[in-house]
Amino acid sequence: MNNKYRVVALLAFLAVMVFAPMAFASAGAADGSEGRYAGFFSYIALGCVVGLGLAAGGCGIGMGSAVSGAVNAMARNPGFYGRIFTNMLIGLALIESLVIYTLVVVLLLLFANPLV
């Protein structure tokens, strides 16, 4: 990809990240009390979506690499199949725990209202 297109893609991505929460913000009541923190919560929601997406994508890449390495090791030495498989499952569980922890943090950010 050309460097010019990378810069345009990066600027478009940053524009979406900055202006999307403003589009999601509600106008609120006539006195302005309802929509006071709408932009704040829109940024929280966008950050949660991006964070969970990055965590899930990173874990998917890590799991693929771990399974690939374990399958290669099992193919080279079938005698250690049981030990390699057990260690692979433990590793996959630890990798998956990152997404679960991220989901817990996302749910806390979305449903715990510090402004009340």
Residues 6-28 have pLDDT tens digits of 777 777 777 777 766 666 665 55
Tokens of 105: 């943090």
How far apart CA 1 and CA 105 sit, in angstroms, is: 36
- The hierarchical CATH code for the domain 3-111 is 1.20.20.10
**What pLDDT, in 10s, does the model give residues 23-68?**
666 555 455 555 566 667 777 878 888 888 888 888 989 999 999 9
Which pTM was predicted?
0.65
